[in-house]
Amino acid sequence: KTKCVCVGYVTLIKVVGLAKALCMAHTGARDVGHGQRAVESLASEGQKAMSHQLDINDMSSITTAAAYFKEKYGRVDVLINNAAIAFKVADTFGVQAGVTLKTNFFATRDMLIQFVPIIKIGGRVVKISSFVSIGTLNQCSLIFQQCFRSEDITEEELVGLMQEFYGWPQTAYVESKTRLMMLSMFLARCLSKERPNDGILINACCLGWVRTDMPGPNAPKSPEEGAVTPVYLALLPPGATEPHGKFVSGKEVQEW
């Protein structure tokens, strides 16, 4: 059992699906009432959980949450970044890109900057991406692909590329998830250099199309089925060295 798990703001259904599998101690919810409903849903099934207010678009909320977990536990065992938005109504691509990247990339990066330093030795970081983003990078220019696939790219260069418009070939949501995967790989390389003996593993994964608020009730997977891969990554055994900095779907590493 994990002592402490923090999940970026998520839908009630998805929180419960992950929490059941992990025996989760804490969930993070943007809306306090939403988080409490998740706790009550778990309690009805005999599982104890707590909720902490966390909105990754609010830096003060992030820093307050990080300070809370550090003071209460001294560390975070597993961090699952599941926060994301996707537009369901028509809007200009410029508006969608700005808002979507703010949450799905930049706010997630802010979350990681605050929480990775308190991830315990041997801890796990899992970021929820999307399988459809795998082919997106290949549709961009070769120069763009080379920049993102470079193992020498700096954080400043990576963030700079995020702020540029390159005629993205897919939706803002897909593009944001593609860049989240790139951030995962970058952070994994940084951790390997800066904390080489800590055994922390960072990966991105795809849940599949799950019956939550975003895909709707007709999606093929249940929340429990969608939780299989992130739970697998969250509970990689002590001493494991792989996968690290990878994209995983169906518990299998996918070629990037």
- pTM attached to this predicted model: 0.83
Q: What is the pLDDT of residues 139-168, one digit of tens each?
A: 777 777 777 677 777 777 777 766 665 545
Active site residue ranges:
173
Q: What is residue 1's predicted lDDT score, i.e. its pLDDT? A: 46
On whether the CB atoms of residues 254 and 229 are closer than 8 A, the answer is: no
On whether the CB atoms of residues 256 and 145 are closer than 8 A, the answer is: no
- Give the bridge partners for 103, in sequence order: none
Provide φ and ψ at 174, rounded to 5°: -60, -40
C-alpha–C-alpha distance, residues 114 and 127, integer Å:
15
What average pLDDT does the structure give for the chain? 78
pLDDT of 217 strictly over 50: yes
The residue ranking higher by pLDDT, 54 or 12, is: 54
Q: What is the pLDDT of residues 221-254, one digit of tens each?
A: 887 788 889 889 988 999 999 999 999 999 999 8
Q: Which residues contact 167 (CB under 8 A, 6 or more apart)?
A: none
- Which residue from 201, 212, 185 is spatially nearest to 84, judged by alpha carbons? 212
Q: What is the pLDDT of residues 68-119, one digit of tens each?
A: 889 988 888 888 888 777 776 655 556 677 788 888 888 988 999 999 999 9
pLDDT of 124 strictly over 80: yes
Q: Does domain 5-254 have CATH number 3.40.50.720?
A: yes
State how far the alpha carbon of 111 is from the alpha carbons of 60, 69, 236, 253, in Å: 11, 13, 22, 25
